[in-house]
Structure 1
Amino acid sequence: MGLLATHKCLDDVQSYILVERSLEKYNVVVDSIVQDFPHVVLLQYYIERQCLLKCTRRILMHALSLGNGSQRDVDIRKEALNLISDGLEGKLLSVLQELLSSSHPD
């Protein structure tokens, strides 16, 4: 997990969760764990990154389409604006650049 944490800038908890999810989802055979498991974990990492990007997009699109003025709509729009003011654009660009420039560990 240490290599994964340093290679993908994850903390220990994030690395542990990613490894656990990979084990649950792909049920890697113990005999092939040394050879195949790093690729399985990286695949899970990229899938989860894509899901985060899609969720963020949906939040923003939902906030843009609101219009009836209910308190729920106001709260959703406020959260979307908070994401933007907290530097969402820069963070997303950073994630995309990292994904595009990353290579598999040796």
Structure 2
Amino acid sequence: MADRLRFYGGDFLADPLPEADVVVTGPDAQRRELLRRIHGALRPGGALMIYDLMADPESESVHDVLQRLNHGLIRGDSSSCTLAECHASVEEAGFEVTRTEQLDNLLGDWLIVATKR
């Protein structure tokens, strides 16, 4: 796969984004602009993968309640968003959400996969 996989460094909000089949990112405080830029860089049918610690306000599990406290008290909600907010932003940018899954890892990160319409 090494001949088919490339990583590009830079500032997602300032530098031009290279054309891509897949972009992996986390939610960002400026997510609407970022998602618009990613949509423009992805080839038709390309995939967007968002991987991060996101709050699920619909859940009452101890883990999710603690996550909401973490977002509000420790992180200050500066870059966090809820699953619903992330889904809405992704769809607004022209993507179709195809998968949402809470990962079985220490922090309970979420993975959202969407394709370019």
Tell whether the structures are fold-level matches, with TM greater than 0.5. Answer: no
* Structure of greater relative contact order (alpha carbons < 8 Å, 6+ residues apart): 2
Structure with the higher helix share, 1 or 2: 1
